Amino acid sequence: MHTSTREDAVTSLHRTPFRRRRLGVTFVVAGLLAAVGMTGPAAAVPGPGDEAPTVQEQLSDSRRAQTEAAIESGEIPGIDEIVHSDNLTPVADVPRAEGLAGTNSDLAFQGRYAFAGNYDGFVVYDIRRPSDPRIVARVLCPGGQGDISVSDDLLFLSVDSSRSDDSCSSTGLPATEEEAWEGVRVFDISDPRSPEYVAAVETPCGSHTHTLVPERRNVYVYVSSYSPSPTFPDCQPPHDGISIVKVPRDHPERARLSSFEVVFPDGGFPGDENSSATSGCHDITAYPDLDLAAGACMGDGVLFDISEADSPRVIDTVRDEEHFAFWHSATFSQDGRKIVFTDELGGGGGAMCNEEIGPELGANGIYHVRGRGDDLRLDFQSYFKIPRHQADTENCVAHNGSLVPVRGRDIMVQSWYQGGVSLWDFTDSGNPREIGYFERGPITEDVLSFGGSWSAYYYNGYVYSNDQKGLDVLRIDDRRTDGADRVRLDELNVQTQPDYFSRR
């Protein structure tokens, strides 16, 4: 069965006035540590049965006054005002699709189409003309968080919200119920304008995120999930690993749970006052051409050997008990000798980009991959965080990004929720720096509200950002990224990282 709707009318573009903003501008706004808590990173959205993230934290009079003063002085943009550096220019923004009220989440790409996940399903955009993207399909199929990826004629959608069954018409059901369902849905996208729901596989603790490791005949899906409980029949402790789903390309209806691979036989990091305990993984990025994968696993960072796609093997594990609260995601450098791990301090709902939090919390950690073969190890180098302080009303923390394919340099675009989209260079691992940005001003002046960019990825010449207001398309004009626009891919799932230059 499937649920899909088509939107034939062209969606008009909404353009917001913008002004220039100087790189590195700073101002003082007090933090909200007491409100969001540095000890609550496991709230990274959502746990089993949770709904989409919502934040409505009323500011004190003094903090509200500070935010208003910062906007008035121009130190931060006004409400919903767009600002950007000269080298990162908005060329289009499409208001969020009607009928999908949930949180916008991840992105995947194939040919002329962008597939945008949502807690209520997904949207298909025709991006043949990046300056004029058009919605061509909206699929209503609720089950947060809608992590999404594509491979040939197949689309995969994560379900991490307990449902009454696996259908698109299912309703929410407590995870304590035996019949509750969570896992991975599979769609046929041979016609991207009319996706068809063809299969579903239940996985322990659902699927918060997933990562594809494709082969010629099968697609292996590494399923990351966490936060087990003795009260959850389908999500029992210790849940110390990842599920692997095998999907035959010619018969996706035969998709099945292939195995559960134990990653932490010793139980993983037990947690402390600063960092989350490990009870599974949050996200994994595979680099199939190098037979490697990097796992962001709550309290641990992991390097895997994936030469046997159906049986990943741990090579090295690292921890950062002082600065990392919640290991969230990972990105390899083009040569695979560096990995950028992100820390989602506060679970994505906190104001973590103000002066009080500082430059090393809720940031990226850059690691070198040293050694060879089974002797590979992760070696910490430095932290990177956007230098643009945000208001106390703005949720902001390191989130999803991708490489910009440039020979000889390591450059990323990355989402920071209401911190916007950052373009940054980590070629010098010990001295990473922001070289461009795009952001909107706060949603409100008096309430900490959830919003902003969930994922910002570079694809075939442009940056696409799945913002809570809709799809933003940005163009990079910078000599440091010259040549990137000549790199073309037929398909991109950022968590299945390609060797950009071997495919040209």
The pTM score is 0.90
The answer on pLDDT for 368 being more than 70 is yes
Neighbours of 129 (CB within 10 A): 12
Close Cβ partners of 315 (under 8 Å, ≥ 6 residues apart): 303, 304, 305, 374, 376, 377
Strands 5-6 and 134-140 come out as antiparallel
Q: Which of 288, 372, 306, 382 is nearest to 340 (CA)?
A: 382
The answer on pLDDT for 397 being more than 50 is yes
CB 471 within 8 A of CB 443: no
| Cis, bond preceding 381 (omega within 30 deg of 0) | no
Domains of the chain: 5-503 (2.130.10.10)
pLDDT on residue 503: 54
pLDDT band at 55 (very low <50, low <70, confident <90, very high): low
Q: Which of 281, 251, 107 is nearest to 188 (CA)?
A: 251
pLDDT by residue (tens digit) across 84-96? 999 999 999 999 9
Lowest-pLDDT range of 65-69, 213-217, 223-227: 65-69
DSSP type of residue 493: B
pLDDT band at 504 (very low <50, low <70, confident <90, very high): very low
**How far apart, in Å, are the Cα atoms of 474 and each of 84, 90, 301?**
10, 4, 31
For residues 4 and 490, which has the higher predicted lDDT (pLDDT)?
Answer: 490
pLDDT on residue 375: 94
Burial class (CB in 10 A: 0-12, 13-18, 19+), 19: exposed
The answer on pLDDT for 154 being more than 70 is yes
Outline where DSSP puts E strands in 354-442.
364-370, 377-384, 401-404, 411-415, 421-425, 433-440
pLDDT band at 73 (very low <50, low <70, confident <90, very high): confident
pLDDT on residue 19: 31
Q: Could you tell me which residues are beta bridge partners of residue 262?
A: 241
The answer on pLDDT for 51 being more than 60 is no
What distance in Å separates the CA atoms of residue 177 and residue 188, rounded to the nearest whole number? Answer: 30
Close Cβ partners of 399 (under 8 Å, ≥ 6 residues apart): 328, 329, 342, 344, 348, 414, 415, 416, 417, 453, 454, 455
Question: Which amino acid is present at 352?
Answer: M
